[in-house]
Amino acid sequence: MKRNAFFLAWILLLFGAISVNAQQIIAHRGYWKTDGSAQNSITALMKADSIGVYGSEVDIWLSSDGIPVVNHDGDVTLNGEKLTVQDTPASTLRKVKLSNGEPLPTMEEYLDAFSQCKHTKLIIEFKTHRTKEREDELAEKVINMVHERGLQERVEYIAFGLHFVQQTRKLEPDALVYYLNGDLSPRVLSTMGLSGFDYHFNVLYQKPEWVKEAHALGQKVNVWTVNKPEDIQKIIDLKADYITTDEPLLIKEILQK
C-alpha cells in the first residue's frame, strides 16, 4: 500500500515537472539565423523542422494575378526597383532572390516542402490586404491548398486583421486561429470563437492578467517576438503557452535549465 502511494506521488511529481516546462517554441519566419538560411525561405522551414520546434511561422500575400506567395514585407526589390507584392504578378515576384539565393517561394512550393517535414507545425500568417475581397480570396486559396495535401491537422492560422481571423474561422471551423493585434481581451476573442491571442510581449507586460483569463476560457496564449534572455525568462514566468522567436535554440537552452 505504502509502495503504491509512493509510486503515485512520484508519477504526480513527474507530470508536475513536465507541465511546468510546457512552453513551446515557434520559429519566427522559420529558423533563419543559421548558415545558408533566410527569412521565409524553404530552407528556414526545413531547418526549423530539423531542430524539433513546435512550429515554424510564415507570412503570406496574394500576388496581383491571384497566386499566394511567401514574403514578410509588403514590397520587394527587384533590379533596384521597389515593387508592391499585391500589385505584382507571381512570375515577376519569383525573380526576387532571398538572401540565401532561393527564389521567393509560392505557397504551393512552400506547402509541398512542408509535406516533407517530420515535426514542425506550420503557423500561417495572412498579411493584411487592401480589400476584404482579396483577403477572402487568399484565405480560401490557401485553405484549399492545405486540404488538397491533407495538412489541416498540421497548420494553424494567425493574422493582425480582424476580417482575416473571422473569415478563417468561418472557412476552417476546426483550425487553431489566433489574433495578433494586441487590442482585444480574451473574453472578446472568445465571443469570436478564436483559439486565443498571439500578442507582442509588451502587451503581456501591460496586461499579465490576460494569461489567466485566456486559460480560464480554454484559450492558448502565444507571444511574439521574444529574443532577449531577460524577456524569454519573463514570458516563461508569465506562463505563455507558445513563444515565437528568432532565437529558437536559445529558448530551448533556457527551457532545459
Cα–Cα distance list, 256 to 33, 251, 253 (Å)? 21, 8, 5
Residue 156 in the binding site for Mg ion (CB under 5 A): no
Q: Of 55 and 186, which has the nearer Cβ to Mg ion?
A: 55
- Name the one residue in this structure whose C-alpha cell is 507586460: 205
Closest CA to 74 of 82, 112, 168, 66: 82
Rounded to whole angstroms, the Cα distance separating 47 from 208 reads 32
DSSP secondary-structure letter at 101? S
Residue 125 in the binding site for Mg ion (CB under 5 A): yes
Q: Of 39 and 43, which has the nearer Cβ to Mg ion?
A: 39
Q: Interacting stretch for Mg ion, rule CB under 5 A, among 35-43, 122-130, 165-173, 239-247?
A: 122-130
Segment holding 255, helix H or strand E? helix 248-256
How many residues of this chain interact with Mg ion, rule: CB under 5 A?
2
Cα–Cα distance list, 188 to 5, 164, 213, 224 (Å)? 44, 16, 11, 20
Residue 198 in the binding site for Mg ion (CB under 5 A): no
Minimum distance from CB of 241 to Mg ion (Å)? 18
Q: Interacting stretch for Mg ion, rule CB under 5 A, among 96-104, 121-129, 132-140, 188-196?
A: 121-129
* Residue from 27, 54, 59, 172 binding Mg ion (CB under 5 A): 59
Q: Which residues bind Mg ion (CB under 5 A)?
A: 59, 125
